[in-house]
Amino acid sequence: MVIQFHSKTVYICKLKLAKGEKQFIITANPETYMLSKINKSINDILYDKNNLIVPDGISIVKTANFLGKRVKERISGIDIAEYLLEIANKNKYKVYLFGARQEVINKLINVIHKKYPNINIIGATNGYVKDKNKVMNRIKDLEPDIIMVALGI
């Protein structure tokens, strides 16, 4: 597991997007780590060296530093989302939104259209669908540049 600094996170995101490579970014909070201790799937995801873990919570930052992992700051999911939306707007990327309530998604789409007019939102699905695997297969077929997921841990 590698926890990245903010500047390094920005660099990795930009580099991977420019190369068209996939990157799974996890905004980890204390609940994430607690669940990883009892759920092997979550644990495997957190300790996959190909995934980017960012500390979404000051307690994660303090604990990491206590354990000898140098972590400068908390990086919230919203910080990463805004950064990715700026990149998407600049490069006219395709974005898919998955998660949250339908009303929240509708409001977000309106905000994105106003603030980031060059983004192509190719789809959006609320987080209350029963078959999430079916949604993920649909997203895969659409080939978005960025998928923003808000499903919680």
Per-residue confidence of the chain (153 residues) as pLDDT tens digits? 444 446 677 777 888 888 888 888 888 888 888 899 999 999 999 889 888 888 887 887 787 778 787 777 777 788 888 889 999 999 999 999 999 999 999 999 999 999 999 999 999 999 999 999 999 999 999 999 999 999 887
Distance CA 152, CA 23 (A): 18
pLDDT score recorded for residue 4: 47
State whether residue 53 is helix, strand or coil: strand
Phi-psi region of 143 (alpha: psi -120 to 50; beta: other; left: phi over 0): left
Q: Which two tokens stand for residue 145?
A: 């540049």
pLDDT score recorded for residue 55: 82
- Cβ atoms of 133 and 96 within 8 Å: the answer is no
Distance CA 41, CA 119 (A): 33
Crossing angle between the packed helical segments 77-91 and 102-115, to the nearest 10 degrees: 50
Rg for the chain, CA atoms, rounded: 16
Half-sphere exposure of 96 (CA within 13 A, CB side): 17
pLDDT score recorded for residue 3: 44
- Cβ atoms of 144 and 117 within 8 Å: the answer is no
pLDDT score recorded for residue 6: 60
State how far the alpha carbon of 76 is from the alpha carbons of 19, 102, 119, in Å.
Answer: 24, 22, 22
